[in-house]
Structure 1
Amino acid sequence: MRRPPAVAELASRVSEKARSVEVLWRAGLVPFPRLDEGIRSLVATRRYGPLAGSVRIAAHRDPDAIGIVDERGPLTFGQLDRQSDALARAWFERGVRPGSAIAVLCRDHRGLVLTMLAAGKLGAPLLLLNTGFAKPQLTDVAAREKVEVLVYDEEFTDLLAGVDGADRYLAWTESDLAERDIPVLDEIIAGTDDRPLPAPEKPGGLVLLTSGTTGTPKGAPRPKISALDSAQFLDRIPLRVGEATFMGAPLFHGTGISQFILSLALGCTVVLRRRFDPKETLRGVAEHRCTALVLVPTMLQRIIDLGPEVIGAYDTSSLRIIFVAGSALAPDTGNRATELFGDVIHNLYGSTEVAVATVATPEDWRKAPGTVGRPPVGCRVRLYDEHGRQITEPHVTGRVFVGSGLAFEGYTDGRHKDIIDGLLSTGDVGHFDADGLLFIDGRDDEMIVSGGENVYPIEVENLIVERDDVLEAAVIGVADQEFGQRLKAFVVPAPGATLDADTVREHVKANLARYKVPRDVEFLDELPRNATGKVLRNKLS
């Protein structure tokens, strides 16, 4: 007998929740048989949010365990908890209240972490500003989000010249503090009672920003994250309690902040550096015996470009996970990383708006290099055509839509992404293969129509990058009187390579359809990218 749709939906949800609990138990987040610890964790997370709540629980469990390590050294979970209590109290005494918008423009270090924790304890929404944004973008965003408190590193002072009406605090400075008229977090914390404030009525949450490659960045709020939502990551990424994570991806980015929160929730030590450096990253992994390394693809590319001899000088045998997200991971890059580090590549696909969509495990990658894998527990992914009809056949490209408990509920300016059947558009197009693995074919708005044929740049880019004499490539469409658009490739040659345009064109022609061959090829020293490694195609012409 066939069950009614409502009953089937309920059964599916119950099964999903049960599987989520199993995933959390396997990772060590469900402390059976100490269920009192589990209840305490749920209460703290509900009161303070996932980050401040996780640190409070970790400090209660083992205050002397190392929480983070930055250039200034280690901070224990107990120190993080007490110092953020002091900062929250100092801000409360200065008039900051639940709902007050706090913005932070910092590189990855303790000042950023303490600001995030203090905001959670105040119930104040925290806006994570991108360190790669230009001055006009930052000015517009601060005005739109009604920022009342601004925390920043001294190096960004000039970028914030247009921001008015916000109380300012320095998180990191290398100048003589006596010459500064802006309060410094270290001094405020040292001079304030570290007794905790009463818990806010509700967490303030985080506001992440889109990349802003086409204008003013949009705000995507994350008002709350349930404990079970963590299973979306842990289902296909084997992070475990009490290990160590090296955070290469910046914390203002969805990739970085999600893995940072999850690592702290697991009681892991998180190693931070203000600027990414491939050798320093390897050194940090070796020194702290990190089991997970969180990167965006360009960072992974810079590491493997060091070569086997340099990489082999560092003991990275502790690595079980290289977590990559934020932009497309080229098959060649993932394959080379697998050769160097073993079966550790975990390729996540998601966005600021939908959070997690799919994850490719090392097994998935071995089977189908370039795949972004399958949806984890709690996620649904479907493809739709331009008329809103679902695509179920393999190898047919369609618009990607995602359903997730972590998805946002609309931009802070009131706009929203397209929704079909309760699923949210990612703005990408992709296809499933016969085994159900997802591949992203490109951005919906990056499709090039040349002579009536549809071309997605990523296919041509990946083919060019496969060459040993190419470091990276980008393909765009430029106006053409005869074909409407023609393809133009921008290529960064490998050091010492002798490469010309005809060689690039012939390589594409030998492997792809004729209409996918770039008519124009331009060589660059590097591609223009934002702080998270996305190519700024509007800078190419």
Structure 2
Amino acid sequence: MFRALSQVPAAIRGFDVLRRAGLAPVARPDQALRSLLTLRRLGPIAGAAQVAADRDDTAVAIVDEQGSLTYHQLGLRANALARAFADRGLGPTSVIALLARDHRGAVDTMIAAGKLGARILLMNTGFAKPQLVDVARRERVEAVVYDQEFTSLVAALDNDVQRVLAWVDDGEPDVATLEELIAATDDRPMPKPPNPGGLVLLTSGTTGTPKGAPRTVRSPLAAAQFLDRIPLRTGECTVMAAPLFHGTGLSQFLLSLSLGSTVVLRRKFDPEATVSAVQDNRATALVLVPTMLRRILDLGDDVLAKYDTSSLRIIFCAGSALPPELGNRATEAFGDVVHNLYGSTEVAVATVATPADWRRAPGTVGRAPVGCRVALYDEDGGKVTAPHVVGRVFVGSMLSFEGYTDGRHKEIIDGLLSSGDVGHYDDDGLLFIDGRDDDMIVSGGENVFPGEIENLLLEHDAVAEAAVAGMADEEYGQRLAAYVVRRPDVDVDGEELKAYVKANLARFKVPRDIVFVDELPRNATGKLLRNKLG
């Protein structure tokens, strides 16, 4: 009883957040109730699309390389595809894998699976064959929808997995395509499924086979966790640079659908084309990961000045750490629009730094929004409340997962879920992430987190990218090695960078080795693969 009462203020605040965003019109309580029932019956993807269609089905939903689709057209295509899936023996207990880039076919598949009540499994386009096969078998995939470029990958799957092409590059495909199925099938509305369609995201798999993290949206108030600190509004336009299979892209795509906004998709990221898309669509939001933001800023002032991006109110950045120098460069180029979200596949939303937070404390991930709780704990499980004291980060939210599909789970303290990171608060209560708990390097008895050194190196005029790792050392246990990508046409040597670090940080944080590389190893979403360094 007490717990339920304690949640009332958050619920009231959450409803007010939705009202301000236009998702809960006070004058139309019937519309709000209908939206709630739709989300419960169809799940977060198909439900969001239907809510938007009920609001205004003439609004443009998707813009991709094939043109635009209204919410009405999107709904008809998903109806037909859901019926085609059902004709192939797929149903509410089926698992449908999606291995595709960002385009209408991916959206059709996600919505159709929801209308069918099937579980949609979002595969990483950067998977190798062993990862793809292991995940498909573990998750009991019955059908895979994929782009033609991934044909050789999909060939490794078991023969009884049904195959459908989402995007055809050239030639005559030897399997059915989504467009063929949609064109040949009745597009009348599907009967409501017995249960809402499920959704499974996959962890990045940087240390082995990716784990499945089911995502359940229990309440429409969950949207308030984003909208509380990110001012998205109904009927606007979002350019989606982050891939839909990743939590960053998917969460903002679903929010944009719920808001009845237009989502601009492209199959592959191109920095200048992305800025052009912001201009051409008068986009108010741009969703990306930090490496994409860096590539946009590296276009240079002359290129960026060619495009009118004054419509942009939000640059939503998540997926990996946003270095202070990168966020500052983005603020200088685009104004006070940078929103830095911290979360993970498992915990979903943890904190968001608003532009005001970033101005006050570059590098911060901000504060927990409505409906979220964040706490720091030491190794013994004691709560850390003092500023500038590093602790393990634990998060609670309505979007946190309930365990991996293989039965494993994350550590839980006081009902909060471990994010696997460590961080600290500043004097104003703003959160900073110091790094992964398992990234800590013990060198000569001193604990070192790579992020602090990497952020400093990135502030050097000659450094484009930097990563720090621990290397085995007989004397110190581990020694620090920095892997550096130089900026074009700028020369710097290792001794100069060591001296630069020594002048700004403690002596034990100076890398023993500086290794210059052409690029850093990253996965498909731009996350650094530390185990590939060296």
**TM-score (norm: length of structure 2):** 0.99
Of 313, 319, 322, 1:320 maps to 313
Does structure 1 retain, via aligned residues, the 8 Å contact 2:53–2:260?
no
Of 284, 287, 308, 2:301 maps to 308
Deviations 1:52-96 (CA, angstroms, capped at 9, x unpaired) = 112122223322210010000001100000000000011111111
State the Cα distance separating 1:302 from its structure 2 match.
Answer: 0.4
* Cα separation, 2, equivalents of 1:292 and 1:224: 23
Does structure 2 retain, via aligned residues, the 8 Å contact 1:297–1:327?
yes
* Cα separation, 2, equivalents of 1:374 and 1:410: 25
* Cα separation, 1, equivalents of 2:398 and 2:238: 25
Does structure 1 retain, via aligned residues, the 8 Å contact 2:25–2:32?
yes
1:188 alignment partner in structure 2:
181
Deviations 1:247-292 (CA, angstroms, capped at 9, x unpaired) = 0000000000000000010000000000000000000000000000
Of 357, 372, 375, 1:379 maps to 372
2:199 alignment partner in structure 1:
206
Deviations 1:319-361 (CA, angstroms, capped at 9, x unpaired) = 0000000000000000000000000000000000000000000
Is the counterpart of residue 43 in structure 1 residue 68 in structure 2?
no
Of 111, 118, 121, 1:124 maps to 118
2:356 alignment partner in structure 1:
363
Deviations 1:495-522 (CA, angstroms, capped at 9, x unpaired) = 0011100011001000000000000000
Report matched runs for 1:336-355 at 5 Å: 336-355=329-348
1:167 alignment partner in structure 2:
162
2:441 alignment partner in structure 1:
448
Is the counterpart of residue 416 in structure 1 residue 406 in structure 2?
no
State the Cα distance separating 1:181 from its structure 2 match.
Answer: 2.0
* Cα separation, 2, equivalents of 1:348 and 1:163: 35
Does structure 2 retain, via aligned residues, the 8 Å contact 1:381–1:401?
yes
Is the counterpart of residue 155 in structure 1 residue 149 in structure 2?
yes
SS across alignment from 2:7? helix
* Cα separation, 2, equivalents of 1:58 and 1:453: 54
Does structure 2 retain, via aligned residues, the 8 Å contact 1:92–1:122?
yes
Of 57, 66, 83, 1:89 maps to 83
Is the counterpart of residue 71 in structure 1 residue 65 in structure 2?
yes
2:525 alignment partner in structure 1:
532
1:102 alignment partner in structure 2:
96
Is the counterpart of residue 32 in structure 1 residue 41 in structure 2?
no
Which residue identity does 2:363 align to in structure 1?
G
Is the counterpart of residue 58 in structure 1 residue 52 in structure 2?
yes
State the Cα distance separating 1:35 from its structure 2 match.
Answer: 1.4
2:424 alignment partner in structure 1:
431
Which residue identity does 2:356 align to in structure 1?
E
Does structure 2 retain, via aligned residues, the 8 Å contact 1:50–1:225?
no
* Cα separation, 2, equivalents of 1:173 and 1:242: 31
* Cα separation, 1, equivalents of 2:218 and 2:59: 25
Which residue identity does 2:19 align to in structure 1?
W
State the Cα distance separating 1:175 from its structure 2 match.
Answer: 1.7
* Cα separation, 2, equivalents of 1:399 and 1:23: 29
Of 469, 479, 502, 1:476 maps to 469
Is the counterpart of residue 491 in structure 1 residue 484 in structure 2?
yes
SS across alignment from 2:81? helix
The alignment of Structure 1 onto Structure 2 pairs a total of residues equal to 533
* Cα separation, 2, equivalents of 1:519 and 1:84: 57
SS across alignment from 1:427? strand
* Cα separation, 2, equivalents of 1:140 and 1:10: 41
SS across alignment from 1:467? coil
Which deviates more from structure 2 when the two are superposed, residues 347-356 or residues 47-56?
Answer: 47-56
Does structure 2 retain, via aligned residues, the 8 Å contact 1:106–1:152?
yes
* Cα separation, 2, equivalents of 1:143 and 1:428: 30
SS across alignment from 2:470? strand
1:3 alignment partner in structure 2:
none
SS across alignment from 2:157? coil
Does structure 1 retain, via aligned residues, the 8 Å contact 2:217–2:398?
no
Which residue identity does 1:454 align to in structure 2?
N
2:496 alignment partner in structure 1:
503
Does structure 1 retain, via aligned residues, the 8 Å contact 2:287–2:317?
yes
SS across alignment from 2:90? coil
CA pair 108-61 structure 1, distance change in 2 beyond 3 A? same
2:130 alignment partner in structure 1:
136
Which residue identity does 1:286 align to in structure 2?
Q
Does structure 2 retain, via aligned residues, the 8 Å contact 1:204–1:223?
no
SS across alignment from 2:505? coil
* Cα separation, 1, equivalents of 2:196 and 2:465: 42
* Cα separation, 2, equivalents of 1:26 and 1:223: 24
1:402 alignment partner in structure 2:
395
State the Cα distance separating 1:10 from its structure 2 match.
Answer: 3.8
State the Cα distance separating 1:226 from its structure 2 match.
Answer: 1.8
Q: Which runs of 5+ in 1 are unaligned?
A: 1-5
Report matched runs for 1:244-259 at 5 Å: 244-259=237-252
SS across alignment from 1:157? helix
Report matched runs for 1:453-464 at 5 Å: 453-464=446-457
State the Cα distance separating 1:162 from its structure 2 match.
Answer: 1.7
Which residue identity does 2:66 align to in structure 1?
R
State the Cα distance separating 1:176 from its structure 2 match.
Answer: 2.5
RMSD: 0.8
Which residue identity does 1:60 align to in structure 2?
D
State the Cα distance separating 1:159 from its structure 2 match.
Answer: 1.2
Of 16, 19, 22, 2:13 maps to 19
State the Cα distance separating 1:382 from its structure 2 match.
Answer: 0.4
SS across alignment from 1:358? strand
* Cα separation, 2, equivalents of 1:443 and 1:127: 26
* Cα separation, 2, equivalents of 1:360 and 1:197: 41
SS across alignment from 2:121? strand
Structure 1 runs of 4+ with >3 Å offset: none
Does structure 2 retain, via aligned residues, the 8 Å contact 1:89–1:196?
no
* Cα separation, 2, equivalents of 1:506 and 1:61: 60
**TM-score (norm: length of structure 1):** 0.98
State the Cα distance separating 1:225 from its structure 2 match.
Answer: 4.1
State the Cα distance separating 1:133 from its structure 2 match.
Answer: 1.2
* Cα separation, 2, equivalents of 1:524 and 1:157: 32
SS across alignment from 2:61? strand
1:269 alignment partner in structure 2:
262
